[in-house]
Amino acid sequence: MTTSTQRWVLGLSALASFMVVLDMLVVVTALPTVQRDLGASLEALEWTVNAYTLSFAVLLMTGAALGDRFGRRLGFVVGLGVFAAASAACALAPSVGALITARAVQGAGAALVMPLALALMNAAFPPERRGWATGIFGAVTGFAAVVGPVIGGAVTEGVAWEWIFWLNVPIGLVAIPLLLTRTPESRGARTPLDLPGLVTGAIAACGLVWALVRGNSAGWTSQETLVPLAAGVVAGIGFVLVERRAAAPMLPPRLFALRPFSAGNAAIFLLNATLTGSLFFIAQFFQVAGGLGALDAGLRMLPIGVVPLVLAPRAGALADRFGERNLIVTGSFLMAAALGWLASVATPAVAYWTLLGPLTLVGLGITLGVPAMTRAVVSRVALPDLARASGAFSTFRQLGGAFGVAALGAAFAATGGYASAGSFTDGFVPAAVVAGVLALAAMVAGLALPGRVTARISEPLGDVAH
C-alpha cells in the first residue's frame, strides 16, 4: 500500500525523467527542419545533440552531490526550473548558435533532475517497495525513449520544431509548485565537491568531442583540431592524477581495479555511442534520403523502441539465467550485425520492409545489452560506493552518446552531405559501418567480464582479490 506522499514522489519523479529522456530523442526527427530553418551545418546539428549530452554527462555526479548537500528536493526544483527556462530559450533561439547554447543549459538542468529524481524516490520508499517503484519509473523512462522520435516528428510536422521545446515549459510550471508542496525534503552524506575533477573531466570530454566534430571541416592537422585534441588528452591525464589524490573523488580510481566495473563502463560507452550516433543519422536518412516528413520518419523508427519496451521487464530474469557477459556480447553483436545490414541495403529508394529486420535487431541488441551492463557495473561494488558507481555508469553512457554522434559525423562528412538524397546516402553508409565497428568494440569489452557477475560484495573494495 502506497501513501499519498509516495505517489506524488513517484509520479513527479517519473514525469521529470520522461521529460529529460524525451529531450534526448525528440530532437532527432526535427534535425532536417532545424537545418533548413536555421541554415545549420552538419557540425551545428551534431552540437544540438552533443551540447545537451555533454553538459548532462559532465555535471551528473556533481548534481547528485549538490542534492545530497543542500537538499534533493531543492536541487530537483532548481534543475527543473533551469530545464524549463532553457527549453523556452531553445524555442526562441534566433540562430543555431543560440540553440546550441540553450541546449547546453538544458543538459545542466537535466544533470540535477535525473539523479535527484531517483534519490528522492529511493528515500520515499522502503527497500521492499523500491523494486516496484523503480519498475514504474523505468517503464515511464522507456516509454519516453519509444515515443521521443514520434512526438518530435508529429510536433515538427504539425506545428513547428520550436514546439518540441515549448512543451516542457508548462510541465515545469505545474511540477515545481507540486514538488514544493507535496514531496518531503531529504539529504545524503555531505561529501566535499570535487571541483578539480569536475573541471578537468569537462575539459577532457569537450576537447576530444570538439576535435572529432571539427576534424573534417577544419582539417585533421589544423590548429583548430589539434589544439582542443591536445587539451582534451592533457586534461584527461590531469583528471586521472587529480582523482588519485582527491580526498573525496567524484570517480574513485580504485573502482577501475574491478574488472566488471571497468569492462562494463567501457561497454556502455561504446554501445551508447553506437545507439545515439545511429539514431542521429537514421532519423535523417528517412527524411533527407527517403523524402519523408518528420512524423513518418518517427513512426518508422518505432521498431527500435518497441522491443525494449516489451522485453525490458524480463531483462533481470534473462541475466540470472544466461549471465551478464553472455547478454552483453550477444546484444552488442546483434547491434553490429544490424548496422552492417543497414549499411548493405541503404539506398534512397530502399523499401521500408527491407529495413524492418535491422531496425528490430537494433532494439533487441539494446534490450539484451544495456540492462546487463548496468548489473555488471554495480554488482561487484561495495554498498558505500554504489551511488558513485551508478553515477559513473550514467556519465560514461552519456559521454559515449556524444562520442558516437561525433565519430559517425566524421565518417559521414568525409564521404557525403545534404546536397541530395544520393549524397546523404553516400555518407550514411560509412557512418553505419563505423557504428557497427563501435558495437563490435563493445562486444570485445563485454568479453572481458567474468563469466558470472551476480553477487554484490560487502567488503571494502581495497580488500577484494581480483
Cell for 391?
A: 553515477
Question: Average pLDDT over the chain, rounded to whole?
Answer: 86
Check: CB of residue 428 under 8 Å from CB of residue 416: yes
What pLDDT does residue 383 have? 63
Q: DSSP letter at 288?
A: I
> Looking at this protein, which amino acid is placed at residue 199?
V
Pick 257-457's CATH classification: 1.20.1250.20, 3.20.20.70, 1.10.260.40, 1.10.10.10. 1.20.1250.20
Q: DSSP letter at 463?
A: G
Check: CB of residue 22 under 8 Å from CB of residue 174: no
Query: Nearest 10 degrees: CA dihedral of 360, 366, 368, 374?
Result: -170
* CATH class given for the domain over 1-183: mainly alpha
What pLDDT does residue 441 have? 96
Burial-class residue 252 by CB neighbours within 10 Å (0-12, 13-18, 19+).
middle
Positions of the chain with pLDDT under 70: 131, 135, 312-313, 315-316, 379-380, 383-384, 386-387, 451-466
Residue with cell 523505468: 138
What pLDDT does residue 454 have? 44
Give the closest residue to 120 by CA, choosing from 62, 64, 39: 64
Check: CB of residue 346 under 8 Å from CB of residue 432: yes
What pLDDT does residue 315 have? 67
pTM for this entry: 0.84
In the chain, domain spans: 1-183, 195-247, 257-457
Check: CB of residue 109 under 8 Å from CB of residue 57: no
453: left (phi over 0), alpha (psi -120 to 50) or beta: beta
CA atoms 288, 291, 294, 296: torsion sign: negative
Check: CB of residue 321 under 8 Å from CB of residue 348: no
Check: CB of residue 335 under 8 Å from CB of residue 362: yes
What pLDDT does residue 88 have? 96
How many CB atoms neighbour CB 103 within 10 A? 27
Cα–Cα distance list, 165 to 19, 91, 98, 460 (Å): 10, 6, 14, 45
Query: DSSP per residue over 70-128, as a string?
Result: H-HHHHHHHHHHHHHHHHHHHHH-SSHHHHHHHHHHHHHHHHHHHHHHHHHHHHHS-HH
Check: CB of residue 26 under 8 Å from CB of residue 279: no
DSSP-derived 3-state class of residue 323: coil
How many CB atoms neighbour CB 115 within 10 A? 28
CA 339 to chain centre: 19
User: Do 257-457 and 1-183 have the same topology in CATH?
Assistant: yes
Burial-class residue 423 by CB neighbours within 10 Å (0-12, 13-18, 19+).
middle
d(CA 389, CA 233): 23
d(CA 294, CA 283): 8
What pLDDT does residue 312 have? 66
What pLDDT does residue 313 have? 67
> Looking at this protein, which amino acid is placed at residue 55?
S
